[in-house]
Structure 1
Amino acid sequence: MFHRNNKRKSKIKILPMIDVIFFLLVFFMLFTTFRTTPTGLDIDLPQAKTVTEQKQEQLMINLSAKGQIYVNEKLLTKTDLKNKVAEMIDRDPKSVVIIKADRSVAYDKVVEVMDIARQVGASKLALAADNKADQK
């Protein structure tokens, strides 16, 4: 007469779902707060309307706001920079040395890096800038 219903109702366990959602929320909050640049350095370049991209082999020298010299995200001394530029010029004398200097770097630091490059035979030097048309 009496029939037992042994079927159990399926229950959705919400606690593990909350854990996963919380983990994803924290992950994306942390991921979006890390500010990265292509070079790994935060360099605020000056702006110019006549910016052109260099197509030849090039060496990118970054000057941070503190006047530190970086090549490929590696901190270099002036002697190391001289050796790096000389090595590149030996491989290809027509190479372009591009200097990306933060807008707050003193002018004499930029000239000093240019002088180091010219001492070892770099004849094609360029100064990097942001395109003014891209900025609002």
Structure 2
Amino acid sequence: MHGSSRGSAVKRARIEIIPLIDIIFFLLATFIMVSLSMSKNQGVQVSLPTASSAASLGDQQELDKAVTLSVNEKGEVFYNKEKITIAQLPMRLSTLKASSKDPRVIVNSDAGADFKYVVSVLDEVRKIGIQKVGINTDKK
């Protein structure tokens, strides 16, 4: 009998999971490596978020301990509301780092401030070695 399928077994198509998992992990590793290499190309490692995507810097207790550095549109620098010069900033930040084991700095900048003043402030913070720095923005 020609039409009989008794003697032959029917093979079903199977999807092999192991090669798919290998491909997924390869793509994940590639994505991570590319994103890490892109972040190293930035001169100052801060992300300036748009107002709608601004994230919280931490809980209120941590924010109360943070020092606020403000730059107005004239380029004047304020250390917790006290007007200081850029030359005085390293001494103040050194004192902060010596008195606190985990110092935090929040930078406020006027929208009309020249960006070179903000970069100068961030540069002084980085020279002292303070790692936890946030840039304050207003949400729309």
Q: TM-score, normalised by structure 1?
A: 0.57
Displacement of 1:53 after TM fit? Answer: 3.9
Match of 1:83 among 88, 91, 113: 91
Say yes or no: does 1:59 pair with 2:63.
Answer: no
Q: How many correspondences in the alignment?
A: 87
Correspondence for 2:117 among 109, 116, 120: 109
1:13-61 CA deviation, whole Å, 9 max, x = no partner? xxxxxxxxxxxxxxxxxxxxxxxxxxxxxxxxx8343231433221100
- Counterpart secondary structure, 2:87: helix
Larger helix share, 1 or 2? 2
Runs of 4+ deviating beyond 6 Å: none
Residue aligning to 2:79: 71
Q: CA deviation at 1:74?
A: 1.5
Q: CA deviation at 1:90?
A: 1.1
Q: 2-side partners of 1:76 and 1:86: how far apart?
A: 15
- Equivalent residue, structure 2, for 1:47: 51
Q: Hey, what's the Cα distance between the residues in 2 that align with 1:73 and 1:50?
A: 23
Give the SS at the match of 1:130. Answer: coil
* Structure 2, unaligned runs of 5 or more: 1-49
State how 1:3-18 maps to structure 2 within 5 Å: none
Percent of residue pairs bearing the same amino acid type: 20
Over aligned residue pairs, what C-alpha RMSD do you find?
1.7
Answer whether contact 2:109 2:118 (CA < 8 A) is retained.
yes
TM-score by length of 2: 0.56
- 8 Å CA contact 1:62–1:70 kept in 2: the answer is yes
What is the distance in 2 between the residues matched to 1:89 and 1:54?
A: 19
Distance 1:86 1:59 in 2: 12
Equivalent position of 1:36 in the other structure:
none
> Secondary structure of 1:131's partner?
coil
| More strand, by proportion | 1
Say which of 123, 128, 135 aligns to 2:131: 123
